[in-house]
Amino acid sequence: MTPALQAVRGMNDVLPDEAELWLHLERVVADWFARWGYRPIRTPLVEPTALFRRAIGEATDIVEKEMYSWRDALSDEALTLRPEGTASCVRAAIEHSLLHDGPKRLWYCGPMYRHERPQKGRYRQFHQFGAEALGYPGPDVDAELIVMCDRLWQELGVAGLRLELNTIGSPEERARYRADLVRYLEANLERLDADARRRLYTNPLRVLDSKNPRVREVLAGAPVLADYLGADSRAHFDGVRSLLDAAGVAYVVNPRLVRGLDYYNLTVFEWVSDALGAQGTVCGGGRYDGLFAQLGGRPAPGAGFAVGCERLIALVRDAGRAPPPPRPDAYVLQQSADGFAQAFLLADELRAAGFRVVQHAGGGSLKSQMKKADASGAWLALIVGEEELARGEVSVKPLRRNAPQVRVPRAETVRRFAQLLQEAKS
Ligand code: ATP
Ligand code: MG
């Protein structure tokens, strides 16, 4: 026998029960973005590798070890499956001069690819939706991005997400801080682990989010970035904080929060849940005022966030907030070829009127069809049997409550269906 094939490790099928929840989330998200004035953008899954090297930074987990990259066999281009969405959005904004007539609020949703060790909440193909507010320099937009997340959690019925907030200042402030941090860490070299030593010269700020208790002990005495901020950076951060306070959005300032991607400056934030185990970060974002120039565009400020769909969906499900699977309004049964033709048209007319209708397929006795009707979860069974056909009628049988079956003239079935359905649901 031919062995059955399986999906690639870390890349998941989403089966219908689960896919309905995804669809629910996608609809809520699209509507929520529209209400906040964000417009959709769709970019390719495949980009030049150089885009991510330049945008995300060489000394990051993603670029060092997580990208799916290859050389195109025909064009010899170095290509990569996108590991995140911001670089592509900014590339597209530059390529199509999207900011020529002013700033833009954009959103995207789709699969991302990172070659990580698969585990709960961490996959090789995963999905993100995210916002990018391009061309806005002020703290108001940083606060807007954060507050809109808070409102989405409320709308989805997800509680207990903690907002961690920090500012990482300007590149100059960070450079001065980095020099002092490296000096301090060098002086404590023997107490660092291999990971921290490696990062010390490639990306020293990332030593700050080491999970190793021994390294954290060293970090307790390290210089703090907040002490290196100038007046402008502090004013920006204060602006964000006062808008969050006004909106009633609670946060904790986490001075160790530096985020994994190089392109951030000033505001950085994460939304974290304790209900997801080790993979608790549902959303990460921040400001990236240097990214346009870094990608060869005219300098322009930017800020955004990305939400991990798999993690958010797990929270929605665990909170019992997944909507029940939608029931068909009617399941249509038939006898004989004439009955089928009639039933086919009836189902078609009902769908055109906006109802969810499943027509029985595959033949069988009315009794066996009725079993299928029941199992479908439909509210009503519509029966086009021999007798109904002869009299120009349709039998309507409520399936979810104990109520008598009625006959309605075929010609009136569509017109009366809404009322019949309402009775069946009451
Ligand atoms: P982590 O620290 O969990 O690796 P990250 O800092 O790499 O996260 P970002 O690049 O900020 O993550 O991506 C934003 C969000 O996308 C994360 O908060 C998470 O919810 C989700 N995400 C990132 N990587 C994965 C993955 N491999 N599988 C599932 N979700 C992911
Ligand atoms: Mg990661």
CB-side neighbour CA atoms (13 Å) of 293: 6
Calculate how far, in angstroms, residue 27's C-alpha sits from the geometric centre of ligand 2. 27
β-bridge mates for residue 71, sequence order: 78
CB-side neighbour CA atoms (13 Å) of 378: 26
Atom number in ligand 1 closest to CA 279 = 3
Angle at 136 between CA 131 and CA 141, to 5 degrees: 60
Angle at 163 between CA 161 and CA 167, to 5 degrees: 160
Q: Whose CA is nearest to atom 28 of ligand 1?
A: 122
- Say if residue 231 is exposed, middle or buried (CB neighbours under 10 Å; 0-12, 13-18, 19+): exposed
Atom number in ligand 1 closest to CA 282 = 20
**76: which residues sit within 8 A by CB, 6+ positions away?**
none
> Residue 7 carries which side chain, given as an amino acid letter?
A
Q: Whose CA is nearest to atom 15 of ligand 1?
A: 308
Pick from 12, 63, 125, 128 the residue to mutate for probing ligand 1's pocket: most ligand atoms within 8 Å of its CB.
Answer: 128
Q: Whose CA is nearest to atom 11 of ligand 1?
A: 284
- The overall average pLDDT reported for the chain is 95
Pick from 113, 279, 307, 313 the residue to mutate for probing ligand 1's pocket: most ligand atoms within 8 Å of its CB.
Answer: 279
Atom number in ligand 1 closest to CA 271 = 18
Cβ < 6 Å from ligand 1: which residues?
84, 114, 116, 121-123, 126, 128, 260, 279, 281-284, 306, 308, 310-311
Q: Is the pLDDT of residue 260 over 80?
A: no
β-bridge mates for residue 305, sequence order: 131, 285
Q: Is the pLDDT of residue 59 over 90?
A: no
pLDDT reported for residue 195: 87
pLDDT reported for residue 208: 87
Q: What is the pTM of this model?
A: 0.93
- Say if residue 388 is exposed, middle or buried (CB neighbours under 10 Å; 0-12, 13-18, 19+): buried
Taking only Cα atoms into account, the Rg of the chain, rounded to an integer number of angstroms, comes to: 28
Average pLDDT, integer, range 77-87: 98
Identify which of 312, 302, 327 has the alpha carbon closest to the alpha carbon of residue 29. 312
Identify which of 128, 131, 225, 127 has the alpha carbon closest to the alpha carbon of residue 174. 225
Residue 261 has which token pair? 């991607």
Average pLDDT, integer, range 61-67: 92
Closest ligand (CA of 279): 1
CA distances to 228, 235, 368, 380 from 423, rounded to whole Å, are 69, 61, 25, 10
The answer to which of 63-67, 201-205, 271-275, 295-299 has the lowest mean pLDDT is 201-205
Q: Whose CA is nearest to atom 5 of ligand 1?
A: 260
Domains and CATH numbers, the chain: 16-169+229-318 (3.30.930.10), 330-425 (3.40.50.800)
Calculate how far, in angstroms, residue 12's C-alpha sits from the geometric centre of ligand 1. 16
Closest ligand (CA of 84): 1
For 190-221, what is each residue's pLDDT tens digit? Answer: 999 988 888 888 888 888 888 889 989 999 99
Average pLDDT, integer, range 47-67: 93
pLDDT reported for residue 105: 98
Q: Whose CA is nearest to atom 24 of ligand 1?
A: 122
Q: Is the pLDDT of residue 25 over 90?
A: yes
Calculate how far, in angstroms, residue 35's C-alpha sits from the geometric centre of ligand 1. 26
Pick from 62, 126, 258 the residue to mutate for probing ligand 1's pocket: most ligand atoms within 8 Å of its CB.
Answer: 126
pLDDT reported for residue 100: 97
**287: which residues sit within 8 A by CB, 6+ positions away?**
142, 264, 265, 266, 267, 268, 301, 302, 303
Calculate how far, in angstroms, residue 279's C-alpha sits from the geometric centre of ligand 2. 10
Average pLDDT, integer, range 4-18: 96
Calculate how far, in angstroms, residue 419's C-alpha sits from the geometric centre of ligand 1. 48
Q: Whose CA is nearest to atom 25 of ligand 1?
A: 122
Residue 247 has which token pair? 């909106």
Task: State the Cα–Cα distance between residues 111 and 84, nearest whole angstrom.
Answer: 9
pLDDT reported for residue 201: 86
Identify which of 221, 305, 295, 209 has the alpha carbon closest to the alpha carbon of residue 260. 209
Calculate how far, in angstroms, residue 352's C-alpha sits from the geometric centre of ligand 2. 47
pLDDT reported for residue 133: 98
Atom number in ligand 1 closest to CA 128 = 16
Average pLDDT, integer, range 287-315: 97
Closest ligand (CA of 11): 1
Atom number in ligand 1 closest to CA 311 = 20
For residues 208 and 224, the answer to whether their CB atoms sit within 8 Å is no
**Residue 423 dihedral angles phi and psi, to the nearest 5°:** -65, -40
Q: Give 215-224's long-range contacts (Cβ < 8 A, gap of 24+).
A: 215/191, 217/191, 218/185, 218/188, 218/191, 218/192, 219/256, 221/184, 222/181, 222/184, 222/185, 223/177, 223/180, 223/181, 223/184, 224/255
